[in-house]
Amino acid sequence: MKTKSMMHIAVIGGGPAGLMAAEVAAQGGAQVDLYDAMPSVGRKFLLAGKGGLNLTHSEPFEAFLSRYGARRDQLAPLLRSFGPDAIREWAAGLGVHTFIGTSGRVFPTDMKAAPLLRSWLRRLRQLGVRFHARHRWSGWDDQGAIEFLTPTGARSVRADAVILALGGASWPQLGSDAAWVPLLGAYGVGIAPLRSANCGFDVAWSPFFKDTFAGHPVKSVAIHEKQPDGTIRCRKGEFVITETGVEGSLIYAVSAMLRDQIERDGQAVLTIDLAPDHDQVNLMQDLSRPRGKRTIATHLRRYAGITGVKSGLLHEVLPREAFTDPATLAAAIKSLPFTLLAARPLDESISTAGGVRFEDLDDQLMCRKLPGLFCAGEMLDWEAPTGGYLLSACLATGRTAGLGALQWIRTGYS
């Protein structure tokens, strides 16, 4: 059995999952070396926090678990061990206090990622974690040591256990380029194909609409989403028109469903309620009022609150004659369909689906075919919407992998 003083753990990847794995491993008495291909760690973490770092979510735990879809059962025990409340306590221990926003999302009081990351790295250094920048993992050498490409050449490192936290394939310029896929695949590790998640979609906009409205936010709208049990869920929010189609928080919330539908059927129809606070019957009655000399644009603004980009969407989808029929117009405002042709590429998505299959890992996230090698974070085969769910699972899986590596070493690699 290994003694604590003998334990050496290598963590590859300096995102939230890797940093959490390093923290729990170092707290457990291991000497931890953390390697990252970039000049500094936490780059995607900092980018995610530019608009306000969303740490986790405060909704009831069963609802929280449901956001992980097909991988709920695999992630549930990990998230129960280190869930939203534990994340808030952990952040407070770093001197970062949090608050719950009106949407239920949890943020640092200053909304920033950089102070938390600085405090976190300070704690890791105090625990003895050693950082190695510009070290790109390239597999194993002939003696079975992990190998890195560095500015000064190849370097081999031996460790009692290795934790990979290499991310998916989104934002490759920040380090998550999925170069690990062929390296693990060569050893027979099961890997689900990487796909775009929390992504935008292509729409065949007309040149006029694209030139006029690209970059415009579409606010105070809703998507009526059919649930597996047949009930309809109304999601309110906003999205943005882009030159290629649509993106934004409301789109991301249903992106997995839309992506899967496109993969299955070749396209998906997204239906938007442009006036979620208006009843369709009353809306039709209001639009039936005599228009007199008013333009249709003025009529829509007065009785439906439809202006600007919302009006543009109606004109993009509806034939001209529809604007003279109050019933057709009211129905379109409440349920405007447009066709999505494709998900945006992996390198434009916020996160990725797919990755190392849980079936190829044990309960502590160790690869069954490569004993002593653990995986954590977004490189695992799961996905979740934005709203704190991504970071929560990255932290939970990193913690599980770190604890698993300690236990595996302590029990003599059994």
Domain-ending residue, one of 293, 309, 343: 343
Round to whole Å and give the CA distance between 268 and 229: 20
Q: Which residues contact 63 (CB under 8 A, 6 or more apart)?
A: none
Q: Look at the block and give the residue holding tokens 């990755």.
A: 355
Q: Choose one of 316, 343, 370: the last residue of a domain.
A: 343
Shared-domain flag, residues 33 and 111: yes
State residue 225's pLDDT score: 72
pLDDT by 10s per residue, the chain, length 414: 444 457 999 999 999 999 999 999 999 999 999 999 999 999 989 988 777 899 999 999 999 999 999 999 999 999 999 999 999 999 999 999 999 999 899 999 999 999 999 999 999 999 999 999 999 999 999 999 999 999 999 999 999 999 999 999 988 888 889 999 999 999 999 999 999 999 999 999 999 999 999 999 999 999 977 666 666 778 899 999 999 999 999 999 999 999 999 999 999 999 999 999 999 999 999 899 988 888 888 889 988 899 999 999 999 999 999 998 999 999 999 999 999 999 999 999 999 999 999 999 999 999 999 999 999 999 999 999 999 999 999 999 999 999 999 999 999 866
Is the same domain home to 163 and 220?
Answer: no
Q: What's the one-letter identity of residue 396?
A: A
| 323 shares its domain with 259 | yes
Tell me what pLDDT residue 49 has: 74
Domain boundary pick from 290, 313, 343: 343
Q: Taking a C-beta distance cutoff of 8 angstroms, is the pair 155, 148 a contact?
A: yes
Question: DSSP string covering 141-171, please?
Answer: -TTS-EEEEETTEEEEE--SEEEE----SSS
Same domain, residue pair 137 and 232: no
Strand, coil or helix: what is 195?
strand
pLDDT, position 4: 45
Output the pLDDT for position 47.
86
Helices 389-410 and 84-93: crossing angle in degrees, nearest 10, is 80
Euclidean distance between CA atoms 114 and 31, whole angstroms: 26
Same domain, 274 and 205: yes
Q: Count the domains in the chain.
A: 2
Same domain, 363 and 289: no
Whole-model pTM?
Answer: 0.92
Opening angle at CA 373, ends 160 and 193, nearest 5: 165
CATH of residue 373: 3.50.50.60
Answer yes or no: do 10 and 106 share one domain. Answer: yes
Per-residue model confidence (pLDDT) at position 3: 47
Q: Are residues 169 and 188 in the same domain?
A: yes
Residues 181 and 223 in one domain: no
237 and 384 co-located in one domain:
no
pLDDT at 327: 93
Distance separating alpha carbons of residues 168 and 195, to the nearest angstrom: 9
Q: CA-to-CA distance for 355 and 341, rounded, in angstroms?
A: 24
Residue range of the domain that includes 326:
201-343
